[in-house]
Structure 1
Amino acid sequence: MHVRAQIRQNVVDALSGLPTTSDQVFPGRTRPLAANHPPTLLVYVTDERSDSDAMGGVLGRELTLAVEGRVTSGDVPDDTLDQIALEVEPAMIARPLLGGMVNEVTLTSTLINTQAPGDAHAGEIIMKFRVAYRTTESAPDTAI
């Protein structure tokens, strides 16, 4: 399994059980959600850059990991979205090296969108984290 997938799963594990989203944490950017679903987190990678390390044969990698919270409710979702951020941000910092797989995790941006389709309110918060890690060129399934 590529280190990207391992990082994604490690983040899902780290965020499972938070008070607002509970066990509604899933890897991947798409997930069919019912119209009145509980608050949910999606964890996915949007891009990655890599450069050869001076040591030769080693790639320094930097990916953008998105943690997306989705909410539907009868009320305006802003407070719930902010509560999700309040829980996710410290959980990511509490495991800053994600089980020793990465060198650095930094929150780089947060985007909040809301809408009111029909009788319900919907909202999403997308927190993007910069995650730095290294692999050898020949073994992208092992972080070093």
Structure 2
Amino acid sequence: MAHIRTQIRHAVVELIKGSSLAGSRVEPSRARPLRRGEQTSAFVYTPAEQSEDLDTEGTQGRTIRVKIDTVTKGEEDARQDDLDDFAVFIEKAFANDPLLGGLASASQYRSTDFAANTEGEKTFQVMSITYEIAVLTRNSDPETTL
């Protein structure tokens, strides 16, 4: 088995595959630039985690931050609409499976941020969506949810 963060990243990747914008180009990764000719892609990573002991038997409540970066190239106004459509797809996917197939005890949307770089031949845009995932584990077993 793998650490619960790894399992959550992979579950989110599968959850958000299939959109008209990113299709199957969704990867569990911290960052990877788009190369020339590459299409819009999404990257799922876990930049932070907090935990607290809930009892003396070793039960831990973990809050794992999941960030989904969607990277695209193209003119800003058309791409903004495409990114907003993908945000709808992601939010509906989480609403339909907030427990990520039983890995989580809850998930909560936190924020969406946008960035753009116009220095290259095409405008490069990133939409970052952040969720917080609540998970219960034992402090002696960070691979298995309770």
Q: TM-score, normalised by structure 2?
A: 0.92
Deviation of 1:42 (Å)? 0.4
Measured against aligned partners, the alpha-carbon deviations of 1:85-117 in whole angstroms (never above 9, x if no partner) come to 121111122111001110111111110112212
- Whether 2:115 is the aligned partner of 1:113: answer yes
Report if the CA contact (8 A) 1:36-1:72 is conserved: no
Residue 102 of structure 2: SS of its match in structure 1?
Answer: coil
Aligned length: 143
- The Cα of 1:137 is off from its aligned counterpart by 1.1
Match of 2:86 in 1: 84
Contact 1:71/1:80 (8 A) holds in 2: no
TM-score by length of 1: 0.93
C-alpha contact (below 8 Å) 1:72/1:121 kept by paired residues: yes
Q: CA RMSD in A?
A: 1.2
Question: 1:42 aligns to what?
Answer: 43
**Counterparts of 1:1-144 in structure 2 under 5 Å?**
1-54=2-55, 56-73=57-74, 75-76=75-76, 77-144=79-146
Aligned sequence identity (%)? 28
More helix by share: 2
- CA shift, 1:55, in A, is 5.2
Provide runs of 4+ in structure 1 moved above 6 Å. none
